[in-house]
Structure 1
């Protein structure tokens, strides 16, 4: 299986991780904010337990120490967290590493860390968190993909299923999805839509 999968949901608690894993999502990011070390270790351990027996791969956002201790295999870091992380420890633990980027400087920093994938965002305006960066737009995906070559490119930020074909056509290898699942009126049906699209695009 490619990593990350074409459909890459990002959720904030174990209940969502469980729900997505049972629906057949292949890559699921757990992005829980403002936890202390023991809380982070607990939620990562619980999420890893939740995906046992499924095809899902859990990506831990930011809490790299908890990811190592809990035995996770996949990690995603934002730029601030990347600056504070011990990359040699992360690599020694065998974790894959995805990194967020928003501009040329951040892309250079990310590439220096030899990541397993690069995330570019926000593609569209997003309501979920206040962004320091203006929407990137779809043409930026094509430009970024040319620059990073074989490294998988994940598009994130305000993307809905209806835009997915255009995003993939622009060069994205994967689409990270937040509100289009978690705030959808029928999340399960929406996930099945995304998974069906991903199968067609594979």
Structure 2
């Protein structure tokens, strides 16, 4: 990717909403929250259907297609988490995988023409992700999070300075424990985007929460 494409993707990753039906009270609630978040200004949506009470099979495809069509209507990037076949089935904009979600070289080959995001917890993992052809890196967890029980120890916002000083130029999305209260400092520290789950899914007003988060992120980006 050229720098101009990096910059364009950096903007599209600004407010990166992650959710599945298990983050909501029901599949219908999921649909409502996704619609409200999109109307509130999220710039990327990642469909992550994992864990207890996650829907499977045709229901999962249905939820993914609903989210994809909503995203498409508002020019929001639609990413599928760690499910290559689902990504292909719904023709998503891209795929996001973790370090242990399969052979990264094979995954890159299978996602040609799509956006590939790879999670990294350390500088070494980030360099590896860049070398294997990632289009952006999900960095974290930045703060403690209860959304992902098996999450590693928080690395803090200082990691962005470390990654940039080491020559990594890919867009960086902060993952883990992000909220309205700590998003400004995270973007100011060098993150291009903030991955949000509970600050939107648990909000009484997902649209308003998304608007506030986006405003905070854009303010931090302006410096």
- Give the TM-score, by structure 1 length: 0.86
User: Is 1:21 aligned with 2:42?
Assistant: no
Aligned-pair CA distance for 1:88: 1.1
Aligned length: 200
The correspondence of residues 61-76 of structure 1 with structure 2, limited to 5 A, is 61-76=81-96
User: Is 1:9 aligned with 2:17?
Assistant: yes
Tell me how far apart the structure 2 counterparts of residues 137 and 52 of structure 1 sit (CA, whole Å).
33
Tell me how far apart the structure 1 counterparts of residues 204 and 132 of structure 2 sit (CA, whole Å).
39
Q: Which runs of 4+ in 1 moved over 4 A?
A: 34-40
Tell me how far apart the structure 2 counterparts of residues 10 and 100 of structure 1 sit (CA, whole Å).
14
Local SS of the residue matching 1:18 = helix
Local SS of the residue matching 2:154 = coil
State which of 144, 149, 156 in structure 2 corresponds to 1:130: 149
Q: Which residue of 1 aligns with 2:99?
A: 79
State which of 100, 103, 117 in structure 1 corresponds to 2:119: 100
Give the gaps of 5 or more residues in structure 2. Answer: 1-7, 22-29
User: Is 1:154 aligned with 2:173?
Assistant: yes
Spell out, residue by residue over 1:5-46, the C-alpha distance to the aligned partner (whole angstroms, 9 max, x if none): 311111114513322222222211111116656554333223
Give the gaps of 5 or more residues in structure 1. Answer: none
CA RMSD of aligned residues (A): 2.3
- Give the TM-score, by structure 2 length: 0.79
Tell me how far apart the structure 2 counterparts of residues 104 and 42 of structure 1 sit (CA, whole Å).
37
